[in-house]
Amino acid sequence: MTAPVHAHGLGKRYGATWALRDCTLEIPTGSVTALVGPNGAGKTTLLQLVVGLSRPTDGSVRVFGADPVGDPAAVLQHVGFVAQEHPLYRGFTIADTLKLGLKMNPNWDDELAHARIEQLGLPIRRKVGKLSGGQQAQVALTLALAKRPDLLVLDEPVASLDPLARREFLQSLMEAVAEGGLTVILSSHILADLERVCDHIIILANGRTQLASPIDDVVATHRLLTGPRADAAAIARMHDVVSERHTERQTSLLVRANGHVYDATWELHEVDLEEIVLAYLARDRSAMADTVRSA
């Protein structure tokens, strides 16, 4: 089976600014991928390209082997999408919203949709505009899930929710994933939300992919090296140095190790995912600052 998402050299430019540049990645079937990055990193742009809401300026993206813009009929019915701020028709009741799903999707599972709304305890005759943010997010997720998609794309689904609604939303999502057969991409700038749910991670910053890998591999290959103050050059010959920090006496390096680190001058520590992600994002910020300075 073709990969749910395959991007090659994908780029999108708005005016003179590249929102996304030279993005090459593949989302494996059945994975739950976290798309992380600061605001303005290109997360929304990438996801909109995947669901065919925007047209690439450069490169290509294939969803189940088809072009989402050129052949929407082949792509759309396999993809469930919840956009940022989960847009819904505020004048529609929940029942109207589900009827919209029924009318606009050939694989619509009406039973599932109504069962979910009932299980969530949402009043089906209530207008969507009168629901809380968390309830609206749940309706949007229901609309996406009842399409019976093979790929679910969620753009900042929990950013606007309070902590309780956030937990309930992710709980619903995990239940849906547990039923199997679903590939998920969800973006967030808050990593803590995603760590429990996801098994793959893509770090996006400044319009470019910084890292795309299974989370287990990320944690397994990244190490914090501490030792007496030294130059990082020797280590950098063998491994990728993500960040370096020097005090008067000590140097600490976060590296992505290619195999073992044999140098006995360094003490090795394990690092958690959040620290790794922050290191990548910080690296990008300093790179960006360099660009600005040299300009």
- Our finding on whether 159 is near another protein (CB under 8 A) is no
Smallest separation, CB 117 to another protein (Å): 17
- Our finding on whether 211 is near another protein (CB under 8 A) is no
From 81, 169, 266, 280, residue interacting with another protein (rule: CB under 8 A): 81
From 59, 72, 133, 227, residue interacting with another protein (rule: CB under 8 A): 72
Sheet holding 240-246, edge to edge: 240-246, 250-256, 222-228, 267-270
| Total number of residues shown for the chain | 295
Return the number of the residue (37 or 149) whose C-beta is nearest another protein: 149
From 105, 160, 213, 221, residue interacting with another protein (rule: CB under 8 A): 105
- Our finding on whether 55 is near another protein (CB under 8 A) is yes
Question: For residues 180 and 173, what is the distance between their CA atoms, to the nearest angstrom?
Answer: 12
- Our finding on whether 116 is near another protein (CB under 8 A) is no
- Our finding on whether 53 is near another protein (CB under 8 A) is yes
Return the number of the residue (91 or 163) whose C-beta is nearest another protein: 91
- Our finding on whether 191 is near another protein (CB under 8 A) is no
- Our finding on whether 57 is near another protein (CB under 8 A) is no
Number of residues in contact with another protein under rule CB under 8 A = 32
Question: For residues 223 and 241, what is the distance between their CA atoms, to the nearest angstrom?
Answer: 10
- Our finding on whether 125 is near another protein (CB under 8 A) is no
Return the number of the residue (45 or 210) whose C-beta is nearest another protein: 45
Smallest separation, CB 105 to another protein (Å): 4
- Our finding on whether 157 is near another protein (CB under 8 A) is no
Smallest separation, CB 226 to another protein (Å): 47
Q: What angle do CA 49, 52, 55 make, to 5 degrees?
A: 60
Give residues in contact with another protein (CB under 8 A).
Answer: 48, 51-55, 72-73, 76-77, 79-81, 83, 85, 87-92, 96, 99-101, 103-107, 143, 147
